[in-house]
Amino acid sequence: MNSALWTHLVKDLRIEWRSKDAINSMLFFALLVVVLFSMSFDPQGAFSRTIAGGVLCVATMFASVSALNQAWAREIRHQVLDAQRMAPTSGSQLFLAKVLANFIFVTIVQIALAPVFLVFYNLRIEGQAWQLALVLPLGTWALVANGTFFAALAIRSRNRELLLPLILFPIFLPALLAMVIATTSILTGDSDPGLWIKLLTGYDIIFTTVSLLLFDVVFHAE
Amino acid sequence: MKKTALALFPAITIALMVWGYYQAIYVAPEEQTMHEAQRIFYYHVPSAMVAFLFFAVSLCGSIGFLTWRRSRPDWAQASDAWALAGAEVGVVFCTVVLITGPLWGRRAWGIWWTWDARLTTTLVLWLIYVSYLLLRRFAAGPQMQTLAAVLGIFGALDVPIVYMSNRWWRTQHPAPVFGGGPDSGIKDPAMLEAFGWNVLAWLCWGLLILFIRYYVERKHQLYAAQEAEEALTRA
């Protein structure tokens, strides 16, 4: 295991373990979105199965934006970010550590949210449930990898909290579409999500590679 | 010589636009199934072509800026101006496409909008470049150019993925006019001629605006650099 990456990852996990800021706020926010959607659409029976996948993905997406903003905002205090820019390690390790940490947080939120979801939407998984264990991590990775990258990009601007969703959501759209369709097809069991899982994998590979390549440019932009 | 060309190009462009309008509205024959509504095609398709071309200009500008930002600051600044001009004028043409499309769709399909591959891709493209312009507005200072260039590359990278994902999702838009199989292409030579004139006219018009926008941005960069230098000498 790479030592710089490991150090960054352990530091982020330890901060979260002590404060639990990100997970608590994400969990509550996602819960609110789920409740709001159930109240506005009154999902019942087959209809609830068709919209549940979309609601889960959108809830995750909105919730993670709050955590992603915090991920870099924390580093600005006491000029930690400047110190990290001067450190003799490549920025991509810092980036990867942040992505991994946020991936773990969002995954925890999804796991905690799943039972609430099944109860509120009266869900019964008609398709192959194990495929969810493939679709959700792939979609979450797409969201978190891009989100961490764009949060680092937005941190240099004014209105940074506002800017992140504005630049992240348009780029994330194809991954969201794939994630929603795959989740829905697993929940309803109507069609095979294989194609969408492939699309998500391709999206993850392309954007993670480009993010790793371009992160130093953004990180050292002056 | 340069001055004559500068004066002549707008004049030629306006003449072409008038000629293109005449060709599209009066000369081109009426289409059999869609009748007069089909004539919007002479504006819709050229605008889409110009929009996509200018987004490509913007991508090239972004790549150029990142390539030269350390070695050749002058070229980098020019590239950045191209990136901004391409994105801004591209968004305007893309807006025209998004407005004329539903106008035609209402007549031909009976609906304003459908989430089909080409429509959704164009909409997402529009969203991406609007977010690019927002980033340029929100971020300040020289780092803004770097950040914008990175976002420009990300946005362009997203386009083929958006297109493929929507094609798998659903498609309703008529097959591409060129290169869309044996049945595609414009059969009537009079229609093709009118279409060609309009592509040329709208391309010239777009280029004119693009050059003006580029020129304004270069002036803007020049004044910003001068101000920075004056502030330094005063201090």
Over residues B98-112, the pLDDT tens digits come to: 999 888 888 877 888
Mean pLDDT on B84-110: 90
Q: What pLDDT does A35 receive?
A: 87
Per the CB < 8 A criterion, the answer to whether B143 and A221 are in contact is: yes
Query: What count of other Cβ atoms lies within 10 Å of the Cβ of residue B19?
Result: 16
Subunit contact B124:A170, Cβ cutoff 8 A: yes
As a whole number, mean pLDDT of residues A148-177 equals: 87
Tell me: the pLDDT tens digits for A46-58? 777 788 888 888 8
Q: Write down the pLDDT at residue B170.
A: 65
Q: Is the pLDDT of residue B175 over 60?
A: no
ipTM of the complex: 0.85
Q: Is A178 on the interface with B (CB under 8 A)?
A: yes
Residue B115 has a CB neighbour count (10 Å cut-off) of 13
What pLDDT was estimated at residue B28?
Answer: 78
DSSP secondary structure letter of residue B26: I
Q: Round the CA-based radius of gyration of chain A to a whole number and report it.
A: 18
Q: State the pLDDT confidence band at B31, using cuts at 50, 70 and 90.
A: confident
Give the mean pLDDT of B195-211.
91
Cβ within 8 Å, pair A195-B146: no
Q: How far apart are CA B58 and CA A210, in angstroms?
A: 18
Amino acid at A219: F
- Asked if A156 has any chain B CB less than 8 Å from its own CB, the reply is yes
Of A169, A206, A221, the CB nearest to B146: A221
pLDDT of A205: 94
Q: Is the pLDDT of residue A209 over 90?
A: yes
Reported confidence tier of residue B176, pLDDT bands at 50, 70, 90: low
Any bridge partners for residue A100, and if so which?
none
Q: Is the pLDDT of residue B22 over 90?
A: no
pLDDT, one tens digit per residue, over A109-128 is 999 988 888 888 887 777 78
Average confidence score pLDDT of chain A:
87
B153 contacts in A (CB within 8 Å)? Answer: 210, 214
- In terms of pTM, does the model score above 0.90? no
- CB count within 10 Å of CB B6 equals 10
Mutate to test the interface with A, among B124, B135, B167 (most CBs of A within 10 A): B135
Helix (H, G, I), strand (E, B) or coil at B46: helix
Judged against a pLDDT cut of 60, whether residue B183 lies above it is answered with no
Stretch A73-99: mean pLDDT: 86
- The lowest-confidence range among A114-123, A135-144, A161-170 is A114-123
Among residues B140, B173, B170, B136, the alpha carbon closest in space to that of B155 is found at B136
Q: Which among A187, A179, A193, A178 has a CA at the least distance from the CA of A45?
A: A187
Would you call A213 an interface residue with chain B, using a CB distance cutoff of 8 Å?
no
How many domains does one find in chain A?
Answer: 1
At A53 the pLDDT is 83
- pLDDT given for residue A124 in this prediction: 79
Measured CA to CA, the distance from residue A174 to residue A147 in angstroms comes to 14
Chain B positions touching A203 (Cβ under 8 A) are: 161
Interface of chain B against chain A, CB under 8 Å? 66, 124, 127-128, 130-132, 134-135, 138-140, 142-144, 146-147, 150-151, 153-155, 157-158, 161-162, 164-166, 168-169
Mean pLDDT of chain B: 85
Domain span at residue A54?
3-219
